[in-house]
Amino acid sequence: MSAMAKLFATDRAQEVIDKAVQLHGGDGVRKGHIVESLYREIRALRIYEGASDVQKVVIARQVMGAA
């Protein structure tokens, strides 16, 4: 269950920050800008405790084991 929550939260956060980068244009990738900082933080969360692809494997195993 925690794998599902982590995957969902990090995927939604990535979508939001990607839109923010688009909205802010060049400023969104300028070092020191809050959007650039958030982008790096969200990227790290997608890697921390296993990449999103690994989380999908964990979820699949949990679902298959519960069936």
CA dihedral 53→46→17→41, nearest 10 degrees, is -170
Q: Which of 15, 36, 41, 49 is catalytic?
A: 49
CA–CA dist 53, 64 (Å, integer): 17
36 a catalytic residue: no
Catalytic residues: 49
